[in-house]
Amino acid sequence: MGATGLVGGHVLDLLLASPGYARVSVIGRRGLEREHPRLVQHVVDMNRMAEHAEWFAVDDVFCCLGTTIAAAGSQEAFRRVDHDYVVQCAQLAAQGGAARYLLVSAAGANARSRVFYNRTKGEAEDEVRATTIPGVTLLRPSLLLGERTEHRPGEALAQRVAPVLNPLMVGPLRRYRGVDARVVAKAMVRLAAEEPRGVRVVESEEIQELGGA
Ligand SMILES: NC(=O)c1ccc[n+]([C@@H]2O[C@H](COP(=O)([O-])OP(=O)(O)OC[C@H]3O[C@@H](n4cnc5c(N)ncnc54)[C@H](OP(=O)(O)O)[C@@H]3O)[C@@H](O)[C@H]2O)c1
């Protein structure tokens, strides 16, 4: 899920390069101009995912879905993607017998937060945890670094500053260092190789360690 996005695109590259996956299914609102013998694409109105429960009968789910309040147009529209679609996908995957659900959430995700963004991410995490999926991995990256086509002025500035600030962020500040989207993807795919054992929360610093080098 989210294979047309920054992290999801890197995850897809890694999965298609990995012989461990006999089939890689991509579910999204638009197709990818890409072909591969092990790639299956499903294009769907995301509000109607439940009509295609059979697509979710997979082993591992890599959920890299997300938007911004600015791009979505309202808090409600943002929540539909970052909460509703994420949770529904987990529920369908649980019904389909998935062993693992790996979710790109965000640093600060907390259902009790006063900040709408963090609260929405935290609520989505909590509902994913509540499914019957044996292995739930919640990755909480800090600012994502990488090339995007969509213009996000605030993030663009933060991305320019990050290379200067990152080395200065030491001790408890390390967790706020920007993290390359490719590193998040690598960490995600590496974590999927582990035995599913309940819920694992992976903060940005650990993502950096797992996905680096
Ligand atoms: N940006 C950051 O610094 C940051 C930091 C921490 C965590 N995160 C989180 O990390 C995750 C991945 O981020 P990213 O930057 O890789 O995301 P991204 O590049 O914006 O990609 C998001 C994916 O979600 C899909 N999507 C968005 N809106 C949709 C909608 N209305 N209906 C269906 N699909 C929709 C996109 O599909 P289309 O291509 O069709 O739009 C795309 O595949 C997100 O959950 C994000 O919140 C981001």
Residues 211, 180: Cα–Cα separation, whole Å: 9
Beta-bridge partners for 201: 138
15 lines ligand 1 (CB under 6 A): no
Pocket test for ligand 1, best of 67, 110, 166 (most atoms within 8 A of CB): 67
User: Domain holding 66: CATH number?
Assistant: 3.40.50.720
* 4 pLDDT tier (thresholds 50, 70, 90): very high
Q: How many CA atoms lie within 13 A of 24 on its CB side?
A: 25
How far from the centroid of its chain's Cα atoms is residue 73's Cα? 21
Of these residues, 21, 85, 101, 117, which one is catalytic?
117
**Which range marks the domain in which residue 180 is found?**
55-211
Is the predicted pLDDT of residue 148 greater than 90, yes or no? no
Residue 20 lies in a domain: no
Q: What is the pTM assigned to this prediction?
A: 0.94
> Residue 208 and residue 178: Cα distance in Å, rounded?
9
Task: Determine if ligand 1 sits within 6 Å of the CB of residue 86.
Answer: no
Task: Kindly give the residue spans of alpha helices, DSSP state H, lying in 18-171.
Answer: 69-72, 75-79, 86-95, 116-129, 153-165
**What are 17-72's pLDDT values in tens digits?**
999 999 999 999 999 999 999 999 999 999 999 999 999 999 999 999 999 999 99
- 184 touches ligand 1 (CB under 6 Å): no
pLDDT of 96 above 90: yes
Q: Is residue 25 part of a domain?
A: no
4 Cβ below 6 A of ligand 1: yes
Domain count along the chain:
1
29 lines ligand 1 (CB under 6 A): yes
> Which one of 85, 101, 121, 186 is the catalytic residue?
121
Instruction: Please say if 121 is a catalytic residue.
Output: yes
Question: Is 169 contained in some domain?
Answer: yes
Asked if residue 141 belongs to a domain, the reply is: yes
Pick the atom of ligand 1 nearest to 148's CA. 19
